[in-house]
Amino acid sequence: MDNRETIGKISRDLILKDIKSTHSIKEQGDAQLSDYEKNVYKCIEDNKHVIANDFYVVVLTKKEKLMQNVIRNYFYVRLSCPTPNYDQIVYKYHKKDERIEFLWVIPDREISKHMKKEAASTPPDQWELLSYVLKFADGSLYKLAKDLNGEEDNTIILKDKHGN
Q: Is residue 164 part of a domain?
A: no
Q: What is the pLDDT of residue 35?
A: 84
Q: Is residue 70 part of a domain?
A: yes
Q: Is residue 98 part of a domain?
A: yes
Residue 105 β-bridge partners: 89
Alpha helices in the chain (DSSP H): 7-16, 25-48, 109-117, 127-138, 140-148
Is the predicted pLDDT of residue 49 greater than 80, yes or no?
A: yes
Q: Which domain holds residue 136?
A: 25-148
pLDDT tens-digit series, residues 90-127 = 999 999 999 999 999 999 899 999 999 999 998 899 99
Q: Is residue 7 part of a domain?
A: no
DSSP state of 59: E
In this structure, how many other beta carbons lie within 10 angstroms of the beta carbon of residue 89? 20
Is the predicted pLDDT of residue 38 greater than 80, yes or no?
A: yes
Is the predicted pLDDT of residue 30 greater than 70, yes or no?
A: no
Q: Is residue 19 part of a domain?
A: no
Is the predicted pLDDT of residue 158 greater than 70, yes or no?
A: no
Answer left, alpha or beta for residue 163, where phi above 0 means left and psi between -120 and 50 means alpha. left
Q: Is residue 162 part of a domain?
A: no
Q: What is the pLDDT of residue 152?
A: 82
Q: What is the pLDDT of residue 130?
A: 93
Is the predicted pLDDT of residue 133 greater than 60, yes or no?
A: yes
pLDDT band at 72 (very low <50, low <70, confident <90, very high): confident
Single-letter code of the amino acid located at 114: H
Q: What is the pLDDT of residue 66?
A: 65
Is 89 within 8 Å of 43 (Cβ atoms)? no
Domain count along the chain? 1
Q: Is residue 43 part of a domain?
A: yes
Mean of all residue pLDDT scores within the chain: 80
Q: Is residue 100 part of a domain?
A: yes
In this structure, how many other beta carbons lie within 10 angstroms of the beta carbon of residue 87? 19
